[in-house]
Amino acid sequence: MNGPLPPELLEQHLIDPEICIRCNTCEETCPVDAITHDSRNYVVDASICNACMACISPCPTGAIDNWRVVARADPYPVDAQLGWDVLPPAAAARAASDHGVPEDVRRLTDEAHAALRNAVRPRSAGTPSVNLYTPSRPAIATVTGNFRLTAEDAESDVRHIVLDFGTHAFPVLEGQSIGIVAPGTDASGRPHHVRLYSIASPRDGERPGYNNCSLTVKRVTLDHDGAPVLGVCSNYLCDLRKGDRVNVIGPYGESFLMPDDPAAHLLMVCTGTGSAPMRAMTERRRRGRGTSGEGRLVLFFGARRPGELPYFGPLQKLPSDFIDVNLAFSRVADRPRRYVQDLIAQRGAEVGELLADPRTHVYVCGLKGMEAGVLDAFRAACAARGTDWDALVPVLRDEGRLHIETY
Amino acid sequence: MSAISYADKIPNNVNLSEDRALQRALEHWQPNYLAWWREMGPDGALDFDVYLRTAVSADPGGWAHFDYVKMPDYRWGIFLAPQETGRQVNFGAHKGAPAWQDVPGEHRANLRRIIVTQGDTEPASVEQQRHLGRTAPSLYDLRNLFQVNVEEGRHLWAMVYLLHRYFGRDGREEAEALLERRSGDVDNPRILGAFNERTPDWLAFFMFTYFTDRDGKFQLNALAESGFDPLARTTRFMLTEEAHHMFVGESGVARTIQRTCEVMREIGSDAPDKVRAAGAIDLPTLQRYLNFHYSVTIDLFGADQSSNAATFYTAGLKGRFEETKRGDDHVLQGAAYTIMEPRDGAIATREVPLLNALNEVLRDDFIKDSVGGIERWNKVIARHGLQHRLIVPHKAFNRRIGTFSGMHVSPEGEVLSQAQWQAREPQWLPSREDRAFVASLMGRVVEPGKFAGWIAPPPTGINRQPIDFEYVRFG
């Protein structure tokens, strides 16, 4: 873990039952008797353990050196640990006690990942915290900024919203999402559905060192079929004013994460608000610039017009030796419609080379409609150099190097 | 507590420099020890730089210090666990008396015998394992072998310190004799049977460290309860090191099983000849090795009924495993224990005085502890979706010591005639062919991060180092 945890969270000390040989050394060593065992497992009582680390070096196996970030009020109890055959996965910091990941979140995540099931996180990715805050126990964030990203005359209203978590710890990694439930109830008197938003800022905050994050939210005024509809949550968020308080749940997302390896290349393809995770990852790289072994950043970004492309201005200012930016506009007057897949095809040789490079990590995020075209463009880029894209997909997926999130 | 003195020739936390006579005696013994190490320690490995754990102090923070060291330069020394103020004799006739800081005269002979018997096992296992470095399946395993070896050497030091410090001339003579006996030597063997068996291959080494070093764990635990405080403190510190040895055994066998299961799935067969042809150790062979090491090890606990064990207990010299965590009166007069024994050609049970059955109590505690690890090995098999399970042989199987020693019993507990036993023994104990096959797989792998084909890599490295760390550098 980096830095101290805030009071709501606990880095819980756990013993890996798969590696532990039940030698009793830790129990013997523990100066506060936090370690106990039954005939099956050795376990640490979170209410007693003070993380003095006295047990760590005497353990012959390394099983003792396991930690999971949990809500302090809700650590894994001793009884549960005694029943374990394996540790809960580090990636999936667990659901808080009474509330698993909300059904809404599960459904939305499933839909978003429909194009690529069972993706795994990059090997060098950080360990994400997941589901630390639940609908019944949300984090309260304060709005510290809400700016329109799209031009005043643009049809779409896309906003950059900054949330400050104050004293709540809300650890996120680039690529993760947070959940928002708009206040109030729907027409049937039920609470509104959860909506997920990718964070657009890197892990150390929208402003480095601050406990805040940013979202890229498009005000929904039409449904998928183009019929007028007012999206409850997006309108709630887009209308927020500085100082307003928002209930936030999550974070979510265990696979769509960036590699920490500075030598890894990032090939990013997005449209509209799908740019949020790309901005987070790019900003993470930008802040860490100058460290050795920098991998390449290549971005394909599509919007209807320049004025509707979130972060168009700031993107223009990034030096080309830092990021290779390719913008596609589909509704510019007197110009042919250009989509991201057209630009990928145009640079097919370089894309094919990138896809064949074992350091490359691919991220696709945006509307479902872009998915097929982008994947076809990848397939063609690979075929041109004799590589079978469809055979490459499972390899990329299993190595944590292919991530697709569409909605 | 006192820190370990590195200014002294012999690192120690017992203020050795304040007892000049003792210091001189140990300094006289030290070159003999080093000569023994050069002759009988790991073969051909004197110049290797090995990433070893060395105690720099006996408290939890300091005793696991890792660095490269040539084994003959290892800082063997004398470390006792911190003294507990007000510690008492916690069992037997002297229960409640202050723990002894010196040897009570009437128990001198018995204590010396206990210490010599324990001390003799330490150099014995180094001797048994001295050729294994030639066939290590990886640098990681080679380092673990050497760690086990140097710590067995340190355990010898621990016992020799007690002999020199508390037993005068007798003790010094016993300390010399510990360097003179040789494992498997016809004329001057080690004291206990299992320590004269060969450890010919790495599967045998892993089984040995799993089962036989676990006997060590239980013996040390029983001695850590001793009313003779220096013995209790010495063995308590030894236990932290002993844990590493059992780790090497449990994880070594688990990794062997893991690899076997992977191969079984790859070739889609569990037929032993096919598994062997694919370069892995078939599960029936693993079971036979297990049967052998298990049965030889449980003999180490001694006779089922033993008046010596009762004497040691009542005198406060050697307790039970986790003595002070038990809820009884810790005197045990009039208490009973159920043991198994042969009766009319079958295995029956009988109640005997608990005091006389303390060897059996310790053996049963050992068995319970061993079974846990075997179940964890079975989980490795189950995780591969395979049906095969390793079993724990019956307590009466293949015994040489105790009431079952004249009896033939199958691993399932069926009493057999001599002819039946002879016909079926090859199914249950490693045959010459089994050992030859396992030996045929033993080839040295020295490239960092590479492992022999019959064993899977470990899940984590040593001391948070990566698995492909250069754990041993060859001189």
B174-233: per-residue pLDDT in tens? 999 999 999 999 999 999 988 998 899 999 999 999 999 999 999 999 999 999 999 999
Return d(Cα A64, Cα A23) in angstroms, integer.
Answer: 11
ipTM above 0.85, yes or no: no
**Is A60 close to B247, i.e. CB distance below 8 A?**
yes
3-state secondary structure of B442: coil
Q: How far is CA B348 from CA A288, A329, B128, B343, B402, in A?
A: 74, 89, 37, 6, 14
Catalytic residue among A42, A76, A197, A363: A197
CA dist B390 and A21 (Å) reads: 18
- Residue of chain B whose alpha carbon sits nearest to that of A61: B247
Angle (CA) B192-B195-B201 rounded to 5° is 160
A261 closest CA partner among A400, A354, A152 = A400
In chain A, which residue's Cα lies nearest the Cα of B66? Answer: A57
**How many angstroms separate the CA atoms of A284 and A208, rounded?**
10
The answer to whether residue B359 is domain-embedded is yes
- Say how many CB pairs under 8 Å bridge A and B: 58
Q: State CA B201 to chain mean position distance.
A: 17
Confidence of residue A293 (pLDDT cuts 50, 70, 90): low
Phi, psi of B354 (to 5 degrees): -55, -40
Please, what is the Cα angle at B358 between B356 and B359, to 5 degrees? 105
Kindly state whether residue B8 falls inside one of the protein's structural domains. Answer: no
User: Do residues A63 and A20 lie in contact, with contact meaning Cβ atoms separated by under 8 Å?
Assistant: yes
How much is the pLDDT for A245?
A: 94
Q: Is residue B185 part of a domain?
A: yes
Positions in chain B short of pLDDT 70: 1-8, 60-63
CA distance B463 to A60: 9
Q: Residue A73 has what DSSP assignment?
A: T
Quick check: is B355 in a domain? yes
Inter-chain contact B251–A19, Cβ cutoff 8 Å? yes
What is the total count of domains within chain B? 1
B244·A29 Cβ contact <8 A: no
Residues of A in contact with B222 (CB under 8 A): none
CA distance B68 to B46: 13
Please report the pLDDT score of residue B222 as a whole number. 96
CB A196 within 8 A of CB A406: no
Length of chain B as a residue count: 475
Query: CATH number for the domain including B424?
Result: 1.10.620.20
Where do we find the tokens 């499972």?
A: A394
CA-to-CA distance for A249 and A71, rounded, in angstroms? 13
For B342, the enclosing helix (H) or strand (E) is strand B336-343
Q: Do B52 and B147 meet the contact criterion of CB atoms below 8 Å apart?
A: yes
Does residue B6 sit within a domain?
A: no
pLDDT band at A3 (very low <50, low <70, confident <90, very high): very low
Q: Is the pTM of this model over 0.80?
A: no
Asked which of A8-12, A65-69, B248-252, B260-264 is least confident by mean pLDDT, the reply is A8-12
Contact A191, A179 (CB under 8 A): no
B354 within some domain: yes
Residue B223 forms part of a structural domain: yes
**Domain range enclosing B300:** 16-473
Cβ(A224)–Cβ(A209) below 8 Å:
no
B235 touches chain A (CB under 8 A): no
Please judge whether B368 and A39 are an interchain contact, meaning their C-beta atoms are less than 8 angstroms apart: yes
In the chain, the amino acid numbered B387 is Q
Contacts for B278 with CB less than 8 Å, ≥ 6 apart: B263, B266, B267
Quote the tokens at residue A39: 């005939």
Q: Is residue B447 part of a domain?
A: yes
Neighbour count for residue B408 (Cβ, 10 Å): 20
Query: For chain A, how long is the longest CA-to-CA vector?
Result: 79
